[in-house]
Every structure is written in C-alpha cells, then in structure tokens.
Homo-oligomer: A and B are copies of this chain.
Amino acid sequence: MTDSSISHGDRPDRPHVVILGAGFAGLAAMKVLGGKAVDVTVIDRTNHHLFQPLLYQVATAALNPADIAMPIRRIVRRSKNIRVLMGEVQSIDPERRVVRLDHGEIPYDFLIVATGAGHSYFGHDEWEKDAPGLKSIEDALEIRRRVLSAFEVAERESDPNRRQAALTFAIIGAGPTGVELAGTLSEVARKTLARDFRRIDPTQARILLLEGGPRVLAAYPEELSESARKQLEQLGVEVRLNSRVTHIDPEGVNIGDERIEARTVIWAAGVAASPLATGLGAPLDKAGRVKVEPDLTIPGHAEVFVVGDLMAKFQDGEMVPGVAPAAMQAGRYAAKSLLQQIAGKPRKPFHYVDKGLLATIGRASAVADLRGLTFSGLPAWLLWLFVHLFFLIGFRNRLLVMIQWAYSYLTYDRGARLITTTWHGLTQMRPETNGSESHRSS
C-alpha cells in the first residue's frame, strides 16, 4: 500500500514537522505550531498528554487517571494543521529524514524528539517487577493496586511477621517523586484508612524512604533538604540516608547486610533516557541523554531538535534540570526556531530561565527555592497548590481536581480507593494471596 497523504497532508508544499512524544515539551511545541504554515504530525504511544507532576496522587488514590490526563487529539482539535497518530516509534534515520513506526515510515523536514525518560534500575532490570516506578498511568494504577492490596492482605493475615511485612512500604530514592510518595502514603495509612480495618491498625504501617545519598531532595539547597527530612519525619516517614539498596525480591529489600521485610516496594531512584536517543548518532551522556548543540539540535542535523528530559544541555556549568518548566521552554524554543528558519531568519541559542524549584511532601508540607528565596511548610505548599492547579490542563480537569482536593483536605478521605486489575474475561481476577490465612480454629 502506498500512501503519502499522512506525510505531507493536503499541502505538499508546506514543511512537515514531526513531533515525537506529547509530554510537556512536545505539547509546548504543538501549541506554537498550531495554525502556522507547517504540517505537523504528532506521534505518541498513548492517546493522552499526562500531567506527570500529579501522577503520585493517582498512585495514592486521591485522583482519577482522567483528572490528570487529556486526549492529545482533544487538545489540538482546533489546530487543523496538526495530525495525531497513536503509535510506537521504532527508530529514527536522520540521514534519510524518516521516522520508522511499526508499520511504515514517516518522512520529515523538521523533527522534534521529545520522548522523555523512563526508569533506570542501574543494571538490575529484574528488580522492576518487585519495585515498579512511576512514569505512566499504568504505573500509577499498579502502585495503587499494590498499596491498597497490602492492607487487604494484612487484614487477612494471621502470622504477625507476615502481617507487619504487608504493612511495610519501602520507597527507594528521595528525589521529588520519592518524597511525595512517602509523605502521601504515610497520610493514607495514618488518616484515610485509620478506621477502616478491624484486625489491623493501619496507623502502625511503616513507611521507609531509602536514599543512597546523604540527603533528601539533593537538587535543593541543603537547608531545604534538612527541612524536607524533618517534615517527612513529622508525617511519620522513616528517612534512611546513605542507604543503598543492594537487593530486591517480592518479600523485601536488602541494604548491604540489613534485611527489611517489605511487601510493597516502589522505585523512585533512577531515570534513563528513552532508547530512541541511541539511534540519532549524536553523543550521549551517562544517563543516555543526547548532548545537544546550543540550539538544541544534534551535531550535523540542524533540522533535528532534542528537547525535554531526553536532552543533556549545560548552561552556566550546570545541567538544565529534567523538570516540566524546562521541558516546556525547550519545546517552545524548538518550534519557534524552526519557524524562524523557514522565515529565513537566523536562530538564537536556547536559554533556560530558571524559575525555581518546588516540591511537595504532604498535607501542608512542601519546600520552595525561588532563585535563592527559600521557604518551606504551609506557604510553600500553598504555592505548590496554586502552581499545579494553574498549569493543569483544561478548565474541567482543574475544577474536578479542586473539588477532590478540597474534599480530601477536609475529610482526609480519598476518592479513588479502587483495587482494579487487568481484564481477564471469564478467568475472573483473583485477589493476591501471597499471605497465608487460616480462619478456622482447629
């Protein structure tokens, strides 16, 4: 079958821009290119843009997946020059200027690679099944299932050691995601579930935050790391610094010689760039990110931009961080640059404007570093709330999230406490039965 319509649309005279990935960087590029004199094809493996900073709230049953995800098609509905394809990119051929999908190729005049990053298990991929990370909706639902199931298993369990293991949660890595998860899980156990069980006392759950380095939130100023650690401990989290995990299995984790029995382990430690980066022929850094030129393109290919978490860009001796604002700035820059080039204007180099760092820890707990102005606790948390609501896409989502947050804040309840599994059809799903149980006296 031959079909070129997808590649250049109805206007073969217009340059064709292909955007890979509809995260923060890809979406920012789309918004610039909508309605402009270019044809755009966006390819993503999912059908939705995901507001990743709130993903931990799906994992901890506070929000629904649809509250933080929006169909890409819906976002660009009015931009008739943008097509969206749900598909998996196999590879990129910069020499022939084509992107290879499962079944076919798409040629481009400009390419914006924004496929982001996944988890890295530092060479221990076998750990993943026992310690899922948090990058996608599927990840979040899997973590939610494991967390809520752990309390169910504990309630059925009659052996005290196994029961305590079911009530022990280990979060590996004390970056922003690990800190958010630990703080929130502690709240779930101590507040949300406190009165819902009869045999177990959920407030006895242990939440361990295991960090290989000497402090939490290593990217933040030292006094904020210390403040975050204190706020975590006030929320009931056991923070273990300089604790490098050496082994993970379904029953727990090892830190050197120490063994911790923990039925639920969550990975928030390592990030690895999308494997698509390797095929570009550009130099990569240790995490697999693409070392880009000052204009975010790859050497020898001024038509190929790499943006977002996939790019390795230094500015003033420091790496541009893998955060949403940086991704949005890079995406917007790439789109504007190629429009300038089409218009025959010269490109300016990319300049990242650092607006600060903001991390939440739990209810009324957060830390903020606004270019030297640091603060923590309630003021930082209110700022976090405002910023995240403001940037959450779509009026409707914003309203629903606001209602659910207000409800949760007032009642400590969480609206999405569902244990769901995969569709198996007539082979009905079964609850997890790792724990032994015996309900009858003998």
Tell me whether B138 and A421 are in contact (CB under 8 A): yes
Tell me whether B441 and A2 are in contact (CB under 8 A): yes
Tell me the chain A residues, 159-200 only, with Cβ under 8 Å from chain B: 159, 195-199
| Shortest Cβ distance from A3 into B: residue | B158
Tell me whether A45 and B428 are in contact (CB under 8 A): yes
Once A87-B431, A196-B73, A407-B396 are accepted as A-B contacts, the answer to whether A4 and B420 lie under 8 Å apart by CB is: no
Tell me the chain A residues, 76-93 only, with Cβ under 8 Å from chain B: 77, 80, 83-88
Contact with B along A390-434 (1 / 0, CB 8 A): 000000110110011001000001011111111111101111010
Once A420-B137, A429-B45 are accepted as A-B contacts, the answer to whether A442 and B85 lie under 8 Å apart by CB is: no
Q: Is A106 an interface residue (CB 8 A)?
A: yes
Alpha-carbon gap, A220 to B119, bound state (A): 55
**Residues of chain B contacted by A397 (CB below 8 angstroms):** 415
Alpha-carbon gap, A422 to B7, bound state (A): 31
The distance from the CB of A407 to the nearest CB of chain B, in whole angstroms, is 6
**Residues of chain B contacted by A429 (CB below 8 angstroms):** 45, 136, 138
Alpha-carbon gap, A158 to B103, bound state (A): 11
Tell me the chain A residues, 59-117 only, with Cβ under 8 Å from chain B: 64-67, 69, 71, 73-74, 77, 80, 83-88, 98, 101-107
Q: Is A5 an interface residue (CB 8 A)?
A: yes
Alpha-carbon gap, A1 to B156, bound state (A): 13
**Residues of chain B contacted by A3 (CB below 8 angstroms):** 158, 437-441
Tell me whether A83 and B132 are in contact (CB under 8 A): no
**Residues of chain B contacted by A403 (CB below 8 angstroms):** 399-400, 403
Tell me whether B106 and A148 are in contact (CB under 8 A): no
Alpha-carbon gap, A64 to B418, bound state (A): 11
Tell me whether B139 and A423 are in contact (CB under 8 A): yes
Tell me the chain A residues, 193-243 only, with Cβ under 8 Å from chain B: 195-199
Tell me whether A442 and B159 are in contact (CB under 8 A): no
Tell me whether B413 and A74 are in contact (CB under 8 A): yes
Q: Is A307 an interface residue (CB 8 A)?
A: no
Alpha-carbon gap, A73 to B200, bound state (A): 13
Q: Which of B6, B66, B148 contacts A439 (CB 8 A)?
A: B6
Alpha-carbon gap, A67 to B407, bound state (A): 14
A-B contact pairs, 11 of them (CB 8 A): A1-B437, A2-B440, A9-B198, A46-B419, A86-B149, A102-B430, A102-B433, A102-B437, A103-B433, A104-B437, A138-B421
